[in-house]
Every structure is written in C-alpha cells, then in structure tokens.
Amino acid sequence: MSIINHLFSLTNFHKGAYCLDNMKLMVDKLDLKDFPKCIHVAGTNGKGSVCHKIANTLTRSGYKTGLFTSPHISTFRERVKIDHRLIPEAEAFTLIEKILNAFSEIQKEFTFFEVMTLLALLYFKKEKVDFAVIETGLGGRLDATNVINPVLSIITSISLDHTQILGDSIDKIGFEKAGIIKDNIPVVLGPKAKLSSILNRAKQKSSEVIQVEGEYLFYDEENSLIAKKVLGYLAKKYNLKYSNLEDGLKSRPACRFECVENVVYDVAHNPKGIDKLLQALQEKFPKNSFRFVIAFSKDKDHVSMVKKLKPFSKGFHLVSDEQRLLSVSELETLIKPFIDNYTYQENLEKTVLDAYKKATNNNEVLVVVGSFYIMDKVKTLLSN
C-alpha cells in the first residue's frame, strides 16, 4: 500500500484515541519541543476563518507564517501551508514516512489527525517559520494539537457539536475547549466564549483574559474582530508592524460563505453554524429565494439543522458520496416527517445539476451546505 493510500485508510478515532499519550511520545521521539511561536485556536465555529485571517495578515507583514487547519477540501496538503503555499507533495510524503516509521518503532496505534498534526509541526520547525497558527481538530483539552506551548490561546465560540465526545452541555464543551489555556499564557475569547468553565480555567492558569465584545449580524465580521484583537496583542508584544490590516482580515478559507455567481458554498455543519449562514444569506441576498443541496456527517444534529433551513427553502436536494456521510436514504428517513419539498437523483452529479438548473431557471440562490467532503466534487462539477 502506498503512503497516501495508507494515510487515507486511517481513522480519526480508535479505541482510546482521544488522548494525548501518543502525541507526547511522538513529540519526544521527533524532537519537536523546541518550536516556533504558536498561536493556538479552538472553538465550535469560526476557528478556521480566524486562523486564516491571522496567518494572512502576518504573511502580508513579512513574517514567515505556518498555518495548520482542517478539514481539507481538495487535497490533504491544504491543511499545512506556509505563506499561502501548500506543503510540497514530495516534502509531505517524506515527512509522513518519517512519522509512520516513528509510530511503528513505538508500537502505537495512530490516527489520521495525529499524523497530520505531526506533519505540520515537523514542517514548520524544519522551515523555521516566525509564527505557526494552529487550529484544533476536536475540542482542545485532549486534541492532538494540544502538545504545543503557544504564545497566545484563542477560543472563538462555544455551541453544541460533537456532543457524544465533548459532552452534552455548553459548559462541558467549554471545559474541553478551555483545555488549550496554558499557565500564564493570555487567552482571547470571542463574544460567544465567555463561559464560567473557560473563565475558571483561565483563573486557575493565571491567564489574562482578552475579551471580544459585541453582537454581529454577519459572522465574518465577528471573526474579523477576534483576529484583529489577536493581532493587536501580538503587535504590542512582538513589535509587529503589519501592513494592510483590513485587507488581511478579509481572508476567508474556501467554502465559508463562498459566493460564485448564484451559488453559495458553506460548510455550516451544526445548528449555530446554520443560524449564521441564514443571517448571511438574508444580508447578502435580501430579495432572493434559496434552494439547498445538503449533505451531513453522521455525527451531526441533522434534524435541527434542516428545521432551521426549512422556512427559507424552495427545495432540498439530498446528496451523499462519502462513507463518513449519512446516506441519502438515511437523511431522507430523518427529514421526511417534517419536510416534503426534497428530491434526489440516482447520483450526486445528477442531483446537483438538477438543483442548479432549477435554481437558475427560478432566479434562486443555490446553497451547497453541510459537510466538507462534498464541496470539492460539487465545485468541480458546477465550474465545468
């Protein structure tokens, strides 16, 4: 089996995977303790966008900046970048082979996300980046990224998601996210992250709390203000002289309210994300109706999300093309009791083209929403 096939055969979770034991062993084995200045970002929604805005501004200001985010849209190399450039393919394969050999030597099981995290850390250290902006994958306290010692922690927002792993309440989820807060290291909190579980952790760790306040209709404005607060802190401590701040803050990762003519791609995948998407759609397209292509991972609150979309939808088009997603029949079973304006064809391609044709003929905005895993296929299909 090739390295790339082996990589994608890995799961993100195995029995006992949600812990830091393996990562701590690998940090020692791969000599990753001496590391560049890290900015560690957790949160239910917004963390990927905040990471991009910070990294983009630092790069524009002349700092060699590593960026680690997830998931990816087209290639796993999107997760590991320096100054907007994806890790070269040959470099990625060489470092992944080194990581897999090291795991073999310590005789431990490992996950896809652990390998990706180690790939980013090895590459950023090798390339001597000035800053590394690191996004958590899941939670924070036991996330594979939580082996770094950051100069600043960020928690963007807290809402219900991954409840089967992180807990079934906002405070429990806040406790897990707060696990990235380190001794005497400041933490920036977004407007929706001011929870007792997080504030208590900050107090225990003697960490200064830098709070972003306010209510914002468009979620990108909120993410921009979080990033701006972070950059203001970094500018004071490290004498940053960033240029074109507002241009840097306009950066957004792919498929975060990405508008291409009459199509919007958005990876909102929990109820709070759907709320933000609907607010943005009404602000951007106040006179249009909407049609939705939907696909969701198996561990999501599907019913709540579709119920939120229902009042705004002229029609739902159900797709699935990935093992990690609900099948079309599973999704239909969940929504059929309260939705009747849905349809699907024999495959993803025909379903998407049918949705696009109906949206175009009726002057509607077509919104492709849900899982990261369909975005590349749908974008490629419609761009052709």
Domain boundaries, the chain: 3-249, 258-383
CA–CA distance, 229 with 50 (Å, rounded to integer): 11
Q: Read off the tokens for 76.
A: 């796993």
Please state, rounded to an integer, the average pLDDT across all residues of the chain.
89
CA 336/CA 276 separation, integer angstroms: 25
Q: Report the alpha-carbon distance of residue 52 to residue 84 in Å, rounded.
A: 9
pLDDT digits (tens, 9 = 90+) for 71-106: 888 899 999 999 999 999 999 999 999 999 998 888
Q: H or E segment at 132?
A: strand 131-135
Assign 67 a pLDDT band (cuts: 50, 70, 90). Answer: very high
For the 258-383 domain, the top CATH level (class) is alpha beta
Q: How far apart are alpha carbons 246 and 223 in whole angstroms?
A: 13
Closest CA to 225 of 124, 154, 139: 154
Give, in order, the Cα–Cα distances in Å from 13 to each of 9, 98, 183, 190.
12, 21, 29, 29
pTM of the complete model: 0.87
Does pLDDT of 107 surpass 70? yes
Q: What are phi and psi of 109, to 5 degrees?
A: -70, 155
Q: In one letter, which amino acid is 98? A: K
Say what the pLDDT of residue 165 is: 58
pLDDT at 9: 65
In angstroms, the CA 216 to CA 232 distance is 20
Query: 337 — phi, psi (to 5°)?
Result: -65, -20
Q: Is 258-383 the same fold as 3-249?
A: no
pLDDT (0 to 100) of residue 11: 60
Average pLDDT over residues 269-285: 90
- What is the residue type of 171? D
H/E stretch holding 335? helix 328-335
- Cα–Cα distance for residue pair 382/352, rounded to 1 Å: 8
- pLDDT beyond 50 at 14: no
Prior bond of 286 cis (ω within 30°) = no
Q: Which two tokens stand for residue 264?
A: 């919007």
- Strand-pairing partners, residue 292, are 316, 367
Orientation angle between helical segments 302-309 and 328-335, nearest 10 degrees? 70
CATH number of 3-249: 3.40.1190.10
Least confident residue range of 7-21, 27-41, 121-135: 7-21
**Is 236 a residue whose pLDDT tops 50?**
yes
pLDDT on residue 175: 86
Question: To 10 degrees, the CA torsion angle through 17, 22, 23, 25?
Answer: 170
